[in-house]
Amino acid sequence: MVGSGFGRSPSGKLPSMFDVVGVGTNSADEVLSIPVSVRDLASTGKVRARERQVLCGGQTATAVAACAALGLRSRYIGAFGSDANGTLVREALRERGVDLEHAIECDAPNRSAVILVDPDGRRTVTWHLSDRLTMLPQDLQPHFLDARIVQIDDDEPDIALRAALAARSRGALVSSDIEHVSDKTEQIIAAVTYPIFEQTLPASLTGEADPERALRKLRRLNQNPLLITLGEHGSVALEGDRFHVVPAFKVTSVDNTGAGDVFRAGFIYGVLKKWTVPQILRFANAAGAISCTRLGAIPSVPSLSEVQSLLG
């Protein structure tokens, strides 16, 4: 598997269209490594953290940072806070070559989270979002979305739906991070090219605990491949009538924060390479697995050579 890069035109200028534009959230994450499971913590009430770091993340910010690390020309559109955390995340993306021309700054604290990471690498997240940290419809002009593929998350359903519809109208594919049930969820599923669900959401929508049965019920909303990320169990996809199951790669997990976001970057890379669905899932699983071996979300994104090495 060879990286696409984006190169330059014969005139020496960068091409005008991005490979990926991401519309959604960013976050400054306070990551606390704890010596016990969260279940044990709940029973004792307190525990001393072994390590504390403030690291950058957020679903879409992590996904576009991972796309950039894989060699894709990437843009991020979202709202940064006016505080030090907003500056921290902005600089983390800029350092990774992500275009921020159409990101906005709000007079509000940046979105933040406290993430508890237990000895097995499992994480528990609590987060805070100011009501003043929000994008308005006029902050998202259709020409901002000129890309081969647009990635959205559903933290702000109205913005997500607007972005998906505008991107599709301009001929772009749309990938997604669908985590929440809202009155816009079914519209978002229908609007995107590739619905990618957090592992518990299809059951919440359909009442079916089995991933295949859940996706078959959701087929009425979208005829394209439907996907679910399953963490340590890999990922699955319903492509037409074919159900694909691709296992996860075995790694020593340090922190699984951001693994689903990195998976989506791997998925985007494979789609742009026009691979088959099983090939895409295997590549995306490998990218997500590598991210679990490091602490944090954006700091854990792998390079293309690292993913290729794990794939063998």
Q: What CATH number is associated with residue 185?
A: 3.40.1190.20
Confidence at residue 40, expressed as pLDDT on a 0 to 100 scale: 83
What is the DSSP annotation of 70-100? TT--EEEE-EEESSHHHHHHHHHHHHTT-B-
Q: Is the pTM of this model over 0.85?
A: yes
- pLDDT tens digits along 246-285: 999 999 999 999 999 999 999 999 999 999 999 999 999 9
Asked whether residue 5 is domain-assigned, the answer is no
Please give the residue range of the domain that contains residue 287.
Answer: 18-26+58-111+130-311
Asked whether residue 73 is domain-assigned, the answer is yes
Residue 204, classed as helix, strand or coil, is helix
H or E element in which residue 243 lies: strand 242-246
Asked whether residue 7 is domain-assigned, the answer is no
Asked whether residue 155 is domain-assigned, the answer is yes
What six digits make up the tokens of 39?
Answer: 């279940």
Asked whether residue 40 is domain-assigned, the answer is no
Beta carbons of 150 and 162 less than 8 angstroms apart? no
Residue 22 pLDDT > 60: yes
**In this predicted model, which residue has the larger pLDDT, 221 or 118?**
221
- pLDDT tens digits along 195-213: 999 999 999 999 999 999 9
Asked whether residue 66 is domain-assigned, the answer is yes
Domain tally, the chain: 1
Asked whether residue 125 is domain-assigned, the answer is no
Task: Name 63's Cβ contacts closer than 8 Å, sequence gap at least 6.
Answer: 22, 151, 177, 261, 262, 264, 265, 268
Task: Name 129's Cβ contacts closer than 8 Å, sequence gap at least 6.
Answer: 111, 155
Q: Give the dihedral sign, CA 192/197/198/204.
A: positive
